[in-house]
Copies of this chain bind each other. A is one copy, B any other.
Amino acid sequence: MSHPPFTAIIDSLPETVPFVGPETIERRTGIATRARIGANESGFGPSPRVIAALREAAPEVWTYPDPENYELRSALAAHLGIANDEVTISEGIDGLMGLLVRLFIAPGDVVVTSLGAYPTFNYHVTGFGGDLRFVPYSGVHENPEALAAKARETNARMVYLANPDNPMGSFWSAADIARFIDAVPENCLIVLDEAYMETAPEIPLALDTSRPNLLRLRTFSKAYGMAGLRCGYAIGHRRLVGAFNRIRNHFGVNKQAQVAALTALDDQTYLRWAVDAIADARLRIARIATENGLRALPSATNFVAIDCGRDGPYALAILEALAHEGVFVRKPAAPGLDQHIRISAGPPGILDILAEAMPIAVKNAQSAP
């Protein structure tokens, strides 16, 4: 007896995990993670007020969350200076990506992104039968001009750009982003992933929710230190934002996430402290790299990309040697980027472990066959 048939798209998809978690690596290797600095989380954690709010709200988890996320949307709208119906909330940016691809992409529709950019976006595009077209990075930057050109040339329905960039940590100015937006055709949705905006060196492009082909994605997972709570939001024209209400899982954002995000937003003092702490950690990571003969790239994010100076296999050998020391980091896999490893900011005690492990890792990688 065979199972009922899947749809044609589902038949074409593999079972996958876009990111293998450090928990899985621990289970496989038996080596305990001593420094968790690979997933661009914030080891500085959330605001103490967030922790207090989570604890206070714990007995209230018996009720469903407000399906309209009303309080949080109102607070975000006030904070951003936009209207309530210009922001929608979901289970992290990953959840938003699944929904926005579903809104716009039918099988065969072209979607443009950079080769080596966020894989979960690609996962969702493929998951709805989209036709991904890749533009190579220009050095360590996504190439906005080439992305817009490719979107025009392919009559793309959607184009993705992260600013600041993951995995390279690079950054485009507001003027550069404005030029990119103007160069994309009106019938192509621009997905501007601003997950790392809080740690950028300058304020990003002003919010313009009148533009009907621009969605900006932000999150409480990075500088706010709440990756485990899954709370991301999309900002844009009310017709775009409203469309999520046609398909979203209305009760998908968990009540603890709502409470925590509301509190986090209200504690901008902590956010500024965390952003400073992240900046200090970036400097320390860069120093550790230099001390070990590696080259740290400038970073606008909560992680530092480090050029290991040779090829992909060599960078991988360093990553694996770090893993052997209990230091969890990740690395880009795309050609042209794969000589880098990517290390997330963390508190001093955790970076001490990195400092201790790095010379061992480099030595081991150099002596590898």
Contact = CB atoms under 8 A, between A and B. Distances in A.
A31 interface: no
Contacts of A237: 3
Contacts of A260: 61
Interface string A242-254: 1101110111111
Q: Is chain A's interface secondary structure helix, strand, loop, or mixed overall?
A: loop
Contacts of A221: 64
Nearest to A211: B1
**Which of A2, A68, A245, A246 has the most CB atoms of chain B within a 10 A radius of its CB?**
A246
A84 to B, nearest CB: 12
Interface string A1-29: 11111111010011111111101100100
Contact of A243 (B6, B39, B43, B70): B6
Interface stretch (A91-99, A199-207, A291-299, A305-313): A91-99
Contacts of A247: 10, 13, 127
A189 interface: yes
Q: How large is the interface on A (under 10, 10 to 19, 20 to 34, 35 or more residues)?
A: 35 or more
A20 B84 CA distance: 18
A18 B251 CA distance: 10
A63 B51 contact: no
Contacts of A65: 228, 230
A110 to B, nearest CB: 12
Interface in A23-79: 23-24, 27, 36, 39, 41-46, 50-51, 54-55, 58-68, 70
Interface string A213-232: 10000000100011111100
Given A61-B225, A91-B252, A95-B252, 19 more contacts: A4-B212, A7-B102, A7-B104, A7-B105, A13-B246, A14-B246, A16-B245, A17-B68, A23-B66, A41-B64, A43-B62, A45-B59, A45-B62, A46-B62, A51-B58, A54-B256, A61-B226, A61-B227, A62-B227
